[in-house]
A and B are shown apart, each in its own frame.
Chain A
């Protein structure tokens, strides 16, 4: 088997994976689209739901989802990246214990985060059911995932850069903005995509924290029902809600593509990556 032969074989065998991913998306879109597509029209995106969601639109849900996404990513990103930089570049020892803690916490069921959020943010801090409580709780939930992936990204940056920087008498932090973070930005982008995807996919957390009220949240302390919770309510709790659940899911799919693609580009824009 010549090298080129091995490459052709590998190309075909490995190629099954991305093609299968595309087919999987097609399955999901068709599965959801069959029931949902007829329900989606302009008013569906601008009106509030009536009859417990069986009619009317999902405007309040779009707003609630936007709120928790901005609050969630907004509050998780800065401390998450800072923690990852500390662990990868400055920590003296004991990082393995932190890494283990993060892995364990990334595996907690989301319903447990939901109950914690309700007890801590809604009751203890008095935010009540609100998009703020939802956003902060999901921020805590995605923090371990985000820190873990960003740290792994930084650790994988070639050591030559750090040695070259040190040889020029530069402290490590000088290299962050222009050398280390840009070099790690593909993995940081992936971490951001997964974190924002997780926020959009989450229902259990928000059921207990952001609430399920079908009114558009105008302030941080107002409750709101995110798209995933709306899909859950319609699909599982509200008799006859199946078609509207599918329609909402279809709208969410479009929202996911937009959000995650945006999230993927964010690191490049922020870090002004010069030529590798």
Chain B
């Protein structure tokens, strides 16, 4: 508290140094890596600009964009009806893939099979040509945009079996599947692709015959995907607009692609 008093009487520190123009982003942890890398690239082009990327999840993205704590909120979903006061600019797309352990013989899954597993109708891998062993169903927690997209697409609203294991971040879901030959989960295609490249013992299942790859999301043949949005109060202006435009520019979209997300240009054109 003594420190607080000291601070109160000292002039605001950042007013004295050559004042960097500061741009603050906050929100979805999925978008955070892309935002950070894009931020560093943006700073190279705009000396004197400081891009700070905070985390905390989509709801922090929305609330801090509204309160002005952040100049740009990042969310890994479309805006909800009650968020009409904000403007969303899509910078990329992220597919959702079902993943199983590398040793799991299954390589493809149909929409009906997903429903039977996630409602608990089918409880053993034997009904899918695997060993007679209980399926460990991994679900996401309420509020996650991936869950809403997943439930919406497969018509599983309030129908997913209550005994499913619940884990939020993609990284952890992948770790659980990598450690459990009898588990099935759904995660972002990008994170699954990187994990497979690094030798993590998992593999993605094709959905209704369509391989869960970044390309198929790009050409809109893979149905299950969500937008990655930069959210601002009203249309983006000034430094925020410069950053949004940068991310949508070819150099920005290259960063999006490198993180195994789907660049905006191609999908929208094809849609």
Contacts and interface: CB of A to CB of B under 8 A. Distances in A.
A and B touch in the complex (CB under 8 A): yes
B3 interface: yes
A51 interface: yes
Contacts of B190: 239
A238 interface: yes
Interface stretch (B169-177, B215-223, B230-238): B169-177
A223 to B, nearest CB: 5
Contact of A213 (B37, B52, B193, B260): B52
Nearest to B13: A219
Interface stretch (B28-36, B81-89, B136-144, B148-156): B28-36
Interface in B112-171: 169-171
A236 B171 CA distance: 5
A198 interface: no
Contacts of A241: 171
B69 A128 contact: yes
B213 interface: no
A214 B69 contact: no
Interface string B186-197: 000011011101
Nearest to A238: B33
A52 interface: yes
Contacts of B50: 215
Interface string B25-66: 010011011101100100000000010111110001000000
Interface residue range, chain A: 35 or more
B56 A208 contact: yes
A26 B179 CA distance: 23
B4 interface: yes
Nearest to A241: B171
A122 interface: yes
27 contacts: A50-B37, A52-B36, A75-B2, A78-B2, A118-B60, A123-B67, A128-B24, A128-B69, A132-B7, A207-B55, A211-B52, A211-B55, A212-B53, A214-B53, A215-B52, A219-B13, A221-B14, A229-B55, A233-B32, A237-B32, A239-B33, A239-B171, A239-B190, A239-B191, A239-B193, A240-B197, A241-B171
Interface of B: 1-4, 7, 12-14, 17, 24, 26, 29-30, 32-34, 36-37, 40, 50, 52-56, 60, 67, 69, 169-172, 190-191, 193-195, 197-198, 260
Interface of A: 50-53, 71, 74-75, 78-79, 118, 122-123, 128-129, 132, 136, 207-208, 211-215, 218-223, 229, 233, 235-242
Q: Which 8 residue pairs of A and B lie closest in terms of their CB atoms, listed nearest first?
A: A52-B33, A213-B52, A239-B194, A219-B13, A239-B191, A237-B29, A211-B54, A212-B55
Given A236-B172, A238-B171, A239-B260, 14 more contacts: A74-B3, A118-B56, A118-B69, A123-B69, A129-B24, A136-B4, A212-B32, A221-B14, A223-B52, A229-B55, A233-B29, A237-B170, A239-B33, A242-B198
